Structure 1
Amino acid sequence: MNIFRRVLRWLFILGGIVAGLITAVAAFIAQRLIQPLRQPLWGTPDQVDMPYVDVTFPATDGVRLSGWFIPAPGNSLRKGATLIMVHGWGWNRLGEAATDVVANMIGASQVDLLRLAHSLHNDGFNVLMYDGRNHGESGSQPPMQFGEAEAQDVLGAIAYLHSRPEVAANRIGAIGFSAGANTVLYTLPETNEIQAAIAVQPTSPAHFAERFGAHQFGMLGKAILPLAEFIFQQAGGRPLKEYRLGTAASQAGQTPVLYIQGMNDPWGSPDDVQQIAIATPNPSGPLLVPGTDRFSGYQYLIDNPAIATAFFEQHLPE
C-alpha cells in the first residue's frame, strides 16, 4: 500500500509538472500572438546604396505606422510603379533577424527583405517598407488579427502613397510574406487600388496552428495550442477557425495574385495555399518551390527577384 501511495504521489507530481509546462508554453505563445516581441531595426537602405525617406502615416483606424519610402532610380522607365512590402508576424520591415533564443528553438532563419527591396529598386520600382502594427517602430493595437485588422495598415500605406508625386496611383502592387501575405489578401476586397499582388506562404490560421503545434511539440501540441488559443481569445481575438482567408481571397476581384509556397513547409502546406488560390478569382500558381523548411519558401523569392519583377511588369504595365 505504501508503494502504491508513493507511485500515485509521484504520478500526481509528474502530472502537475507537465500541466504547468503546458500552461507556461501556451501562455508564452499566446503572448506572442497578442503582442509580438518587437525586433529592433538592424540596418537602413543607405547601407546598400539606396536613397530613402523616413515616413510615418496612419492606418485607416488611426494606428501610427513607421517605414521607409525608397524612390526608384532617377533613370527608371517604370513611370511611378510602386511596390508595398508587408512583413510577417514577429518580424519588422527588414524581415526576420532570427537572433533570439526562441527563433533558434523553433528553427527560424534570417529573412532579408532589404535585399529584395534592393533588387526591386534596381529594377526601377519605388518601394515602401513599413512596420506593421504591433511590430518594429509602429504603434500598438493588440491583439494580432492574422491580417484582418492589419489590412487597415495597407490601406493607410496606399493613402500615404497618393501624397507622393513619384507614385503613379494606378500602378501600385504589394508583396506580403506569411501573415503579411494574409494581410494583403484581406486588403484586396477593401480596395481596387492594388493592381497586382504576390502572396508568399499565406496560411489559414487554424491550419497553421495545428501543423505548428504538431511540428514543435508533438502530441503535447494538442494541449498547448488550444490553451494558447483560449488565452488569445480572452485578449480580444476570435477562434482561429473564424479567420477565413479563403473567403477574403474569393472577394479579391480581378486583381492578379501570384501565390508562392514551399513544398516542404512543416507549418503551412501546399494544400492550404492551393485551396486559397482556387478561391481567388484571378490567381497565378501556386508556384511550389523546393526547400527544407518554412523559411526556404520566403528565401526563394529573395533569391529569385526576377519572378517578382516579371510579374509586376506584366500587371503594372507602363
Structure 2
Amino acid sequence: MKRRRLLRWGLLMLALFMVVFAGASWVVGGRLVAPALRTVGPPPADLPVESISIESKSGARLAGWYIPADNATATVVLLHPIRGDRRAMLTRARLLHDAGYAALLVDLQAHGESPGEHITIGHLERHDAEAAVAYLRRRTPDHQVGVVGRSLGGAAAVLASPLEIDALVLESVYPTIDEAVHDRLAMRLGPLHHVLAPALLVQLSPRLGISTADLRPIDRINAAGCPVLVAAGDQDRHTTLAETERLFAQASEPKTLVIFSGAGHVDLLAHDPVLYKDQIVRFLDANLQPPP
C-alpha cells in the first residue's frame, strides 16, 4: 500500500512538472518570437536620407531609408539582425556611402516601425528581402544590386534566394534553426539545451505555421545565383565556426570566407573596421561593377 501511494505521488509530481515545464516553455517561446517594434526616430543628419515605405508579401509595409550617392552605379540593401532595426546598419551605410554606393535600409517585419505579429526567424522576413530588391529594381533599374545581411537579415536573404542580385554578403548567419536554438540554449543552460530546445522548436508549427525544414539557410545558399561572401567571428557561440564553415561549403562558386579573429556574435564592422573594409567592401567593389 505504501509503495502504491509513493508511486501515485511520484506520478503526480511528474505530471505536475511536465505541465509546469510545458507552460514555461510556451512562455519563453512566445517571448522569443514577440515583435520588436519601436519608434526609430528621425534619419541621421549626416546622410542624404529619404524616408520610404515598401509593400511586402510578408504582410507588412516596410519602413525604410534610401540613401543616394553621387554618381553611384550600385545600391546595397542592408538587412539588420534579430530584434534590431535599420539603425543597426547605419555604420555600414556610412562606410558604403563613402565608397560611392547608394544604400537601402529597411526594418524587417515585426521590427522597428514595420508591423508584424511575430518574428519568424527568416520565414516571413524573406519576403521583405525580396521587396527591398524589387523596390531598387524599379527605382534604379540601371544599378547593380548587392545585399548585406546580419544574422536574421542574412538568413532572410538566403531563404529568399535567388534574389536576382549581383553580390551577397552574409554575416553571422545560422545554417539551420535546430543548431541556432541549441547553440543559444547551450550557452545559458549547458546540457539542459537537449531538453529545452526540442520544446521550443516544436512550437514553430502552432505559433508560426512553419517547421524546422523551412528554416535551413544551408539548403538554400547554393541557389544565391551570385558571388557570396560569408563572414563570421571565430569565437561566435550563437553560430559556431564549424557551422559557418558548413554553410560556406554549400555555397556555389565564386565564394569567399572571411573569419574575424576574436569576434563573437557581434557587429563585425565595429569589431575590426580595417578587416571589414579590406574584405567586405573590396568584395562589393569587385562584384558590383557596372556592365560594360
| TM-score, with length taken from structure 1 | 0.78
Which deviations, in whole Å up to 9, do the C-alpha atoms of 1:66-90 show, x marking residues without a partner? 1000111x3xx4x331000011111
Pick from 114, 122, 125 the counterpart of residue 150 of structure 1.
125
Q: Secondary structure at the match of 1:183?
A: helix
**Deviation, structure 1 residue 162:** 3.1
Structure 1 equivalent of residue 116 of structure 2: 140
1:127 corresponds to which residue?
103
Secondary structure of 1:209 counterpart = helix
- The answer on 1:213 being equivalent to 2:212 is no
2:207: which partner in 1? 235
- What is the aligned partner in structure 2 of residue 159 from structure 1? 134
Counterpart check, 1:198 vs 2:176: no
Q: Secondary structure at the match of 1:139?
A: coil
For residue 148 of structure 1, report the CA deviation from its aligned partner.
3.4
Q: What is the CA–CA distance in structure 2 between the aligned matches of 1:23 and 1:37, rounded to whole Å?
A: 24
**Does the CA-based 8 Å contact 2:58-2:125 persist in structure 1?**
no
Residue-by-residue CA offset, 1:124-167 (whole Å, 9 max, x unaligned)? 111100000111111215350x3233221122112222343xx3
Q: Does 1:274 align with 2:271?
A: no
After TM superposition, the structure 1 = structure 2 runs for residues 269-308 of structure 1, keeping only pairs within 5 Å, are 269-295=240-266, 297=268, 299-300=270-271, 304-306=275-277, 307-308=279-280
Q: Aligned to 1:294, what secondary structure does the other structure show?
A: coil
Give the deviation of 1:16 after TM superposition: 5.6
Equivalent residue runs for 1:9-28 within 5 Å: 20=20, 22-23=21-22, 25-28=24-27
What is the number of equivalent residue pairs in this alignment?
285
Task: Give the Å deviation of 1:284.
Answer: 2.7
Residues of 2 paired with 1:299 and 1:13: CA distance?
A: 50
Q: 2:29 aligns to what?
A: 30
- State the Cα RMSD in Å: 3.0
Deviation string 1:223-253 (CA, Å, 9 cap, x unpaired) is: 2222222233211343325522122112222
C-alpha distance in 1 between matches for 2:40 and 2:235 = 30
Match of 1:55 among 32, 52, 56: 52
Deviations 1:167-191 (A, max 9, x none): 35441100000011111112232x3
The 1:56/1:150 distance shift into structure 2, 3 A limit, reads: same
Given candidates 138, 146, 170, the residue that maps to 1:173 is: 146
1:66 alignment partner AA: A
Q: In structure 2, how many angstroms separate the alpha carbons of the residues matched to 1:86 and 1:265?
A: 20
Q: Check conservation: 2:178, 2:201, Cα contact below 8 A.
A: no
Relative to the length of structure 2, the TM-score reads 0.85
How many angstroms apart in 2 are the aligned matches of 1:249 and 1:152?
16
Deviation at 1:290? 1.6
- In 2, Cα distance between equivalents of 1:123 and 1:245: 29
How many angstroms does 1:19 deviate by? 6.8
| Consecutive unaligned residues in structure 1, runs of 5 or more | 96-112
- CA deviation digits over 1:187-238, x for unaligned, max 9? 232x32x100100011021111111111112233222222222233211343
- Distance change (3 Å), C-alpha of 1:180 and 1:315: same
CA distance in 1, matches of 2:281, 2:53: 27
Q: 1:33 touches 1:232 (CA, 8 Å); kept in 2?
A: no
The unaligned stretches of length 5 or more in structure 2 are: none
Aligned residue type for 1:71: P
Q: 1:256 to 1:300 in 2, by over 3 A?
A: farther
Q: Would you say the 8 A contact 1:262–1:291 is kept in 2?
A: yes
Q: Note if contact 2:159-2:215 (Cα within 8 Å) is conserved in structure 1.
A: no
Q: One-letter code of the match for 1:148? A: H
C-alpha distance in structure 1 between counterparts of 2:110 and 2:29, whole Å: 14
SS for the counterpart of 2:220 is: helix
> Residue 89 in 1 paired to residue 53 in 2?
no
**Relative to 1, partners in 2 of residues 1:267 and 1:130: Cα closer, same or farther, differing over 3 Å?**
same
SS of residue in 2 equivalent to 1:235: helix
SS in structure 2 of the partner of residue 129 of structure 1: strand
User: Corresponding residue for 1:65?
Assistant: 62
Identity %: 22
Give the whole-Å Cα distance in 1 for the aligned partners of 2:219 and 2:26: 30
Q: Which residue of 1 aligns with 2:289?
A: 317
Separation (CA, whole Å) in 2 of partners of 1:300 and 1:188: 28
**One-letter identity of the residue aligned with 2:43:** T
